[in-house]
Amino acid sequence: MRRGKPNDPGRRSRILEATLDVIKADGISAVSYRGVAAHAEVPLGSMTYYFPTLEDLILSALDSTRSELEPRYAAPLRDARNLADVVDALVDATIGPTSPSLTDIRLYEEIRHYGARDPKVAAVLQAVEDDSLVMLQPVVPTSIALAINALLWGWWSHRLAHPDAPLDEATVRKPYEAIVGLAAADHSFPTKEQTRA
Partner DNA sequence: ATGCAGTACGTACGAGTGTACGCACTTGGT
Partner DNA sequence: ACCAAGTGCGTACACTCGTACGTACTGCAT
CB 125 within 8 Å of CB 111:
yes
**Residues in 18-57 at the binding interface with DNA, rule: CB under 7 A:** 31-35, 42-49, 52-55
175 binds, among DNA, a second copy, none (CB under 5 to 8 A by kind): a second copy
What whole-number distance in Å separates Cα of residue 14 and Cα of residue 64?
12
CB of residue 38 to DNA, shortest distance in Å: 9
**Residues in 52-111 at the binding interface with DNA, rule: CB under 7 A:** 52-55
Return the number of other C-beta atoms located less than 10 Å from residue 171's C-beta. 12
CB of residue 174 to a second copy, shortest distance in Å: 6
CB of residue 30 to a second copy, shortest distance in Å: 9
192 binds, among DNA, a second copy, none (CB under 5 to 8 A by kind): none
Residue 73's contacts (CB-CB under 8 Å, 6 or more residues apart) are 89, 90, 92, 93, 98, 99
Give a three-class secondary structure readout of 74-113.
HHHHHHCCCHHHHHHHHHHHHHCCCCCCHHHHHHHHHHHH
Stretch in the footprint of a second copy (CB under 8 A) among 71-79, 83-91, 113-121, 132-140: 113-121
CB of residue 157 to a second copy, shortest distance in Å: 6
What whole-number distance in Å separates Cα of residue 51 and Cα of residue 184?
51
Does the protein bind DNA through residue 1 (CB under 7 A)? yes
